[in-house]
Structures are given as structure tokens and as C-alpha cells.
């Protein structure tokens, strides 16, 4: 795993050997880039001219081996998240919401890494796309909206867009959600699973914040962002072959790789 600009990440070089674009994949809370390698390999199939980087979140959770096994990551060094949420999470939520991530440095740091990765490949933001899952989806959206130049595409898979989102740039965005997602789609009264630590924190902080998928879409639309929605029937808070294929195809379309690849066969 490489270490540059304060982040560890894995790189999957383009299948064609000549990178014409860069796809950044961001994992969810309590996970690791290695879990996303099989999905990244599938993304390469529809984006053969793209280099992929799978970025590891910066905050280690000091996970036990049982916790790693529960995440299907036995033997991994640790599980990671994008910003620290400890047992006093509710005390931090006010800060997170009030500043809408504006004062959290992780976005600027991540963009610095991405800038350098683009420069190494002589690429521009029009050649850049993001795919993020859950908290990684939130990260993908917020990071892309803060870039100096507009990237080609953002995919937020099973993630939420928080209030007060501001858009410096307005990239085409795909919001993927399952109609059985227990965190961001199902009504609370039908939700069989206890909320995540992050969602519970909002309640403890006495904040009435609606993180439902429909609200996330509206927030992006209100910011002037072109949003495409894809709701998968019977899908809960996870990735499937079909949902990831949708993400990869959207990115390929926006990067123009589908058209480039078809021209190769004419």
C-alpha cells in the first residue's frame, strides 16, 4: 500500500496500460480498501483506460479480530473511518453539522492527494471520477463539490448528503440506494436495525436531521447539481453486482470511456 500526502492507498493500473482517467474509490465507516478490490476490478472492466486508487480512511478504529472477521476482513491491519466518532459522538455532531464539514480538513487533504495523482498522470478534473459507499459516498460528494475544477462524475452509493451542503463545483452525480436500506431509506418505524452510531448521535444531540435518501437528493438539487437516482428493489445497506455495475457504467459514460472504447472496435 502506497503512502503519499498523508493517505495510504492502493493503485490498480489501467488495463490498457495508458491511463486516460482516474477513478477514486472511498470505502465506508469501519472498513478497509482491500474489501473493495473485487469491486474495483469490476469497475476496470468498463473503464479499461482508467487508473483506480482505493484510499484508506485516516482514522484507525483499533478493531478486534472478531470485528475484522465480522467485516469479512480477517487478518487486516485495522478497520478505518474518515473522521473520529467515539463513544461521545453526540458531543461532536453539533460541530459536524454546524460547519457542514467545512472545517474538517480531511476534504482538503484528500483533494491534495487527488491533485498530485492527476498531475502524475498528466490528467485534468474532466478525467476524474469518484465512487463512494455509505460514509465514503458522503466523502465523495463533499470532496468533489470542494474541488477547484469540476470533475466528470460522482457516485454516492448508499450514502447521505448532510444539511448545509455548498457546491463550489457541480459535477454530475449518481445517487444509488436500496429500497430496504435500513439507514437512509426505510421509515424509522419499519427499520428493524438499530441506527448506526452516527445516526444515534444526532438523536442524542437533540437534532432533528432527516438523512433520508429523498432529502439527500433534494439537497443536491437545491445546490444546482444534476442528480441521477437509481433505486434498487430489495437492496439493503450493501453493494451488489447490479448496484456496482450501475456505478461503474455511470462513471464510464461520464468519463466518455464508453464512447472511446466503442471507437476502438470500428
Q: Which residues of the chain have pLDDT under 70?
A: 84-104, 187-209, 257-266
Residue 114's pLDDT is what?
Answer: 97
Full-model pTM: 0.85
Beta strands, E only, the chain: 2-4, 7-12, 21-26, 50-55, 59-60, 80-81, 128-133, 153-157, 173-178, 227-232
Q: Grid cell 474538517 — which residue?
A: 104
| Secondary element (H or E) of residue 41 | helix 37-46
Name the domain count of the chain: 1
**Nearest partner of 36 among 21, 52, 50, judged by Cα:** 52
Please state whether beta strands 227-232 and 173-178 pair in parallel, antiparallel, or not at all (unpaired).
parallel
Residue 166's pLDDT is what?
Answer: 76
Could you tell me which residues come within 8 angstroms of residue 72 by beta carbon, excluding any fewer than 6 positions away? Answer: 35
The per-residue DSSP string of 187-209 comes to: -GGG--SPPPHHHHHHHHTT---
Q: For residue 175, what are the domain limits?
A: 2-264
Q: Is residue 209 within 8 Å of 97, Cβ to Cβ?
A: yes
Residue 258's pLDDT is what?
Answer: 43
Residue 259's pLDDT is what?
Answer: 46
**Nearest partner of 132 among 152, 114, 117, 154, judged by Cα:** 154
Question: At 243, which CATH number?
Answer: 3.40.50.1820
SS3 at position 56: coil
Q: Is residue 125 within 8 Å of 145, Cβ to Cβ?
A: no
Amino acid at each position: 500500500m502506497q503512502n503519499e500526502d498523508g493517505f495510504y492507498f492502493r493503485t490498480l493500473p489501467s488495463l490498457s496500460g495508458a491511463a486516460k482517467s482516474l477513478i477514486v474509490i472511498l470505502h465506508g465507516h469501519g472498513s478497509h480498501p482491500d474489501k473493495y478490490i473485487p469491486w474495483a476490478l469490476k469497475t476496470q472492466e468498463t473503464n479499461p483506460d482508467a487508473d483506480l486508487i482505493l484510499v484508506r480512511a485516516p482514522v484507525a478504529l483499533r478493531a478486534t479480530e472478531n470485528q475484522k472477521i465480522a467485516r469479512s476482513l480477517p487478518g487486516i491491519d485495522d478497520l478505518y473511518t474518515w473522521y473520529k466518532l467515539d463513544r461521545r459522538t453526540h458531543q461532536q455532531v453539533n460541530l459536524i453539522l454546524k460547519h457542514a464539514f467545512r472545517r474538517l480538513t480531511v476534504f482538503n487533504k484528500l483533494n491534495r492527494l487527488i491533485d498530485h495523482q492527476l498531475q502524475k498522470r498528466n490528467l485534468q478534473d474532466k478525467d476524474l471520477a469518484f465512487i463512494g459507499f455509505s460514509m465514503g459516498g458522503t466523502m465523495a460528494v463533499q470532496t468533489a463539490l470542494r474541488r477547484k475544477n469540476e470533475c466528470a462524475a460522482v457516485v454516492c452509493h448508499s450514502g447521505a448528503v448532510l444539511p448545509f451542503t455548498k457546491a463550489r463545483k457541480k459535477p454530475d452525480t449518481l445517487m444509488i440506494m436500496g429500497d430496504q436500506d435500513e439507514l437512509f431509506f426505510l421509515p424509522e418505524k419499519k427499520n428493524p436495525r438499530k441506527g448506526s452510531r452516527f445516526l444515534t448521535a444526532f438523536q442524542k444531540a437533540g437534532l432533528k436531521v432527516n438523512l433520508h435518501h429523498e432529502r439527500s437528493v433534494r439537497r443536491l438539487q437545491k445546490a444546482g447539481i444534476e442528480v441521477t437516482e437509481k433505486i434498487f428493489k430489495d437492496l439493503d445497506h450493501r453493494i451488489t453486482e447490479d448496484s456496482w455495475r450501475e456505478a461503474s457504467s455511470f462513471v464510464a459514460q461520464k468519463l466518455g470511456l464508453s464512447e472511446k472504447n466503442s471507437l476502438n472496435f470500428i
